[in-house]
Amino acid sequence: MTQKILASGSPRRRELMHYIWKEFDIETSDAEETVPIPKLSAPEDLPVFLSRLKAEDIASRHPGALVVGADTIVIAPDGEILGKPKDQEDARSMLKKLSGCCHLVVTGVSMCQMNGTDKRFHSFREITKVYFFPLTEQEIDHYVESKEPMDKAGAYGIQGLGSLLVEKIDGDFFNVVGLPVARLKRELDGFTV
């Protein structure tokens, strides 16, 4: 039986991956911190690049294993890429940029399997539009003080208290959580044929 590995330490991705695989291992990669980011043609390409780095890094350590890597970013209305906030002030700043606007959540997902010199690889990205209500300073402060935004791209989690900030979405809800599971299931079915 083929070993399956999720190349992510995210508890949200782990929970969602259980919808597809009942049993799998988890191993995180720090490859993205050691490789310079190339010039990309669009911000939407960044999570695909990073997910591929993670998947290839873990697959190179486990010959024959099927590895899934993922990375999620938020793209503000002005095109700025918002990762995880560095501190509470950074979280406040991000939430102010998203207040009353539509932004994009982009998740890149990569599948990789290596056997010696033979390497199979496939990537895709999922994009969801998220619309925030106009937020007051008090709402932003209350949310930041909850500590929920601190480990999430764009400084919010739609599956938690951050749901109170969201007016509507256009696209896959689970993509905003961090893993577009319905599409990933279909992409994996095609990849493992």
Q: Which residues contact 145 (CB under 8 A, 6 or more apart)?
A: 88
Q: Which residues contact 50 (CB under 8 A, 6 or more apart)?
A: 32, 69, 71, 108
Least Cα distance to 35 among 18, 22, 52 occurs for: 52
Please say if 71 is a catalytic residue: yes
Q: What is the DSSP string of 125-153?
A: EEEEEEEEPP--HHHHHHHHHTTGGGGSG
Which residues are registered as beta bridge partners of 109? 70, 124
Helix (H) or strand (E) holding 112: strand 102-115
Name the active-site residue from 71, 87, 118, 151: 71
Residues identified as active-site: 71
